[in-house]
Amino acid sequence: MPIRTGDRPGLGGAAKLVADRARSLVRLELQLAAAELKQKVAAIGIGIGLVVVAVLFGFFALAFALAAAAAAIATTTSVWLALLIVTGALIVVGSLLAAFGLASIRRGTPPVPEQALEEARLTAEAVKNGTH
């Protein structure tokens, strides 16, 4: 069946049709992205909630373990001395963790991607000079 010239859109009509389809495609992509982000945010929220509860349980477990350690030590010494020994151990461990944490923070500051900046500078120079 031959196609009549009146059935085909002209160049302007074809351009409008392409633009309309492109807008529709972009709109659908944005809707998909929004739905995907909602799913991911919900999953992250649930994950954060579960981690917070796990940390709380871990805190209580640690407290009971330390109480058990103090009770075990108290079988051979007086209670006050057992509690003092556990407290001293906690202070030593906490101090060591704080020292290592501060050292790690110092190594990471300032948070500037120095290697990436150097690569970008070298790339810019290479483009400016026309070298590969």
| Model pLDDT, residue 64 | 97
* pLDDT range class, residue 5, cuts 50, 70, 90: low
Maximal CA-CA distance, the chain: 105
Residue 121 has a pLDDT of 87
Q: What is the DSSP secondary-structure string of 110-128? A: S---HHHHHHHHHHHHHHH
pLDDT at 4 over 70: no
CB within 8 Å of 124: residues ≥ 6 apart: none
Q: What is the mean pLDDT of residues 34-60?
A: 94
Q: Which residue has the higher pLDDT, 13 or 66?
A: 66
Contacts of 55 (CB under 8 A, 6+ apart): none
Contact between 111 and 105 under an 8 Å Cβ cutoff? The reply is no
